[in-house]
Structure 1
Amino acid sequence: MKTVEFRLPQEYDKSFIVFQEIGQFFPCPWHYHPEYELVLVLKSTGRRMVGDHIGYFDAGDLVFMGPSLPHVWVNDPEFFKGEAGYQADAIVVQFVDAFLGKPFMEIPEMEAFRSFLLRSNRGMVIKGETREKITALMTQMLPMNGLQRLSSLLQLFDLLAHTTEYEYLASPGFVQNTQLKSSDHLRKINQYIMQNFQEEITLSEIAGVANMALTTFCCFFKDHYRVSFVEYLNTVRIGYACKLISEKDLNIVEAAGESGFNNLANFNRQFKKIKNMTPSEYRRTLNVV
């Protein structure tokens, strides 16, 4: 499945984009772009794919994505057939990180939002009260201009900067770049995993990289990643396998081997556990998108 760069039109007198996508179905292909993007579905149902994540959306779905993360929203068949009874409708907000100038993003008041942006490279589905507040702001922004519009965007930034009501979408192995602002231990651990996940990595080996005793490392890793080291490593490998299947069209056995699995049965088992579908089902899904 070929990824294309896709850009929304920006008005000459606007520093960022607020765009309403309304029609029989959402027309965008599997694509990426250099802007950060917030997508709010007002009406419609279907599947959304963000990186290697495949999920379902309906009215109220809200997703934030970092730059260059491939994605697509695919409406259910009744929309393509004109049988839904209503049009698909969504609001999209896009901006580059320096749209107000690089010095603005570096002021102390933007520190929390800068941290949020660093975490957004995997894409996030926003939930709860944060989603409700952002939905209200985005629907009000459509007719706005000037400082009123910019003020609403900064309110969005504040809500995103301080929320914990989100779930990551794409896996670390797909994006190949976590960019976490954290301790030197985490930086070394993550760098080692990303450079060596295609080979065998033992617990004692990675604990040595972190300069920790085995038990200390296991507790440290679980505290910071919220999963065990083996679970995280499998997530990285499966994400990379998805990338190989989608971008290089490798067969299942080749993708398993190149992503660090030397046992096909284990690869299939871990793929089903992490992606909720088999590798073959994942490939068929790509062919439909």
Structure 2
Amino acid sequence: MKSIEVRLPQDFDKSFIVFKEEGLYFPCPWHYHPEYELVLVLKSTGRRMVGDHIGYFQQGDLVCMGPYLPHVWVNDSAYMNGQAEGPAEAIVIHFQEHFLGEDFLNIPEMEPLKNFLKLTKRGLALSGNTKEQVRALMTGMVHMNGIQRLSSLLSIFDILSKTREYELLASPGYLDQVDPQGSDRLSKIKEYIFKNFDQEITLPEVAALANMAVTTFCNFFKEQYRITFVEYLNTVRIGHACKLLSETDMNIVEVAFGCGFNNLANFNRQFKKHKKMTPSEFRKVVNMQDVA
């Protein structure tokens, strides 16, 4: 399933986009775009796909996504068949990185927001008090213009820059990209993983890359990522497997070995652990989206 690029029309007198989506169902296909996006579901239920994440949405669902991250919201059959009690409704905000100028994110006050935006390349489902505060602001923005509208967006930025109430959605391996900036040990390790995850990677060789003893490296890595190195490597491999399952006709065995697993049973076990479904079930869900 190939994603397509979708661009929303923007009013000449506005620096970012806010609109209310309303209809029998959400019509957008599996797509991506260069803007950051906030999606607040007002009414409707269904399945959402963000990168290789497959989950379910309902009223109040709030997700923030970074540029070029493929995604789609697929309504339940009652909406698709016109049998729901009311329309599907959502509020969507699109903004580009430099919509307030090239240097906006480089001023000191924006550092916490920059850190949050780095996370959005995997997509985040927001929860708790964060979700309630942002929802109140987004619902009011639909009828605003000018400085008031911009002020509400800046208030949302302030909330997001401080929050810990979120779940990361897509796995790091699905993104298939390496952050070229930074020369610290983590950047070097991540680059090595993303270039070599389809081969055998041992702890001693990665620890040596970081100029650490194996035990020191394991402790350092878990402190940084909150999971072990092996667990992180498996999330990268499973993320790439999801790309292959959704975008190619490779069989399950080819996918497993193409992602660095040398044992099919272990691949199936790890895939179900991370995605709560088997590789075959994942491909079936993705293929359903082609028909939708």
Q: TM > 0.5 between the two?
A: yes
Cα distance between partner residues in 2 of 1:130 and 1:222: 27
Q: Could you list the per-position Cα deviations for residues 242-288 of structure 1 after superposition, in whole angstroms to 9, with x for gaps in the alignment?
A: 10111223221111111111111111111001100000000100111
- What amino acid sits opposite 1:220 in the alignment? F
Does the Cα contact within 8 Å between 2:246 and 2:287 map onto a contact in 1?
no
1:1-289 equivalence runs, <5 A:
1-177=1-177, 179=179, 184-289=184-289
Ranges of 4+ aligned residues in structure 1 off by more than 2 Å: 176-183
Does the Cα contact within 8 Å between 2:4 and 2:32 map onto a contact in 1?
yes
Cα distance between partner residues in 1 of 2:158 and 2:113: 7
Cα distance between partner residues in 2 of 1:195 and 1:103: 32
Cα distance between partner residues in 1 of 2:202 and 2:130: 40
Does the Cα contact within 8 Å between 2:21 and 2:92 map onto a contact in 1?
yes
Q: Which moved more, 1:193-202 or 1:243-252?
A: 243-252
Q: Deviation of residue 182 (structure 1)?
A: 7.6
Q: Which moved more, 1:275-284 or 1:204-213?
A: 204-213
- What amino acid sits opposite 1:209 in the alignment? L
- What amino acid sits opposite 2:14 in the alignment? K
Does the Cα contact within 8 Å between 2:178 and 2:191 map onto a contact in 1?
no
Cα distance between partner residues in 2 of 1:102 and 1:249: 42
- What amino acid sits opposite 2:139 in the alignment? T
Q: Deviation of residue 180 (structure 1)?
A: 9.8
Cα distance between partner residues in 1 of 2:100 and 2:183: 30
Q: Secondary structure at the match of 2:120?
A: helix
Alignment root-mean-square deviation, CA: 1.4
Cα distance between partner residues in 2 of 1:146 and 1:135: 20
Percentage of identical aligned residues: 64
Cα distance between partner residues in 1 of 2:221 and 2:277: 27
Cα distance between partner residues in 2 of 1:260 and 1:69: 24
Question: Number of matched residues?
Answer: 289
Q: Could you list the per-position Cα deviations for residues 199-241 of structure 1 after superposition, in whole angstroms to 9, with x for gaps in the alignment?
A: 0001111111111111111111111111111111111001001
Q: Secondary structure at the match of 1:102?
A: coil
Cα distance between partner residues in 2 of 1:168 and 1:114: 16
Cα distance between partner residues in 2 of 1:191 and 1:110: 26
Cα distance between partner residues in 1 of 2:44 and 2:131: 17
Q: Deviation of residue 176 (structure 1)?
A: 2.2
Shift in CA distance, 166/179, structure 1 to aligned 2, threshold 3 Å: farther
Does the Cα contact within 8 Å between 1:119 and 1:178 map onto a contact in 2?
no
Cα distance between partner residues in 1 of 2:96 and 2:286: 29
Does the Cα contact within 8 Å between 1:63 and 1:123 map onto a contact in 2?
yes
Cα distance between partner residues in 1 of 2:259 and 2:46: 30
Q: Could you list the per-position Cα deviations for residues 93-131 of structure 1 after superposition, in whole angstroms to 9, with x for gaps in the alignment?
A: 000010111122221111111121122110111111111
Shift in CA distance, 282/264, structure 1 to aligned 2, threshold 3 Å: same
Cα distance between partner residues in 1 of 2:25 and 2:158: 32
Structure 1 gap segments, 5+ residues each: none
Cα distance between partner residues in 2 of 1:53 and 1:47: 10
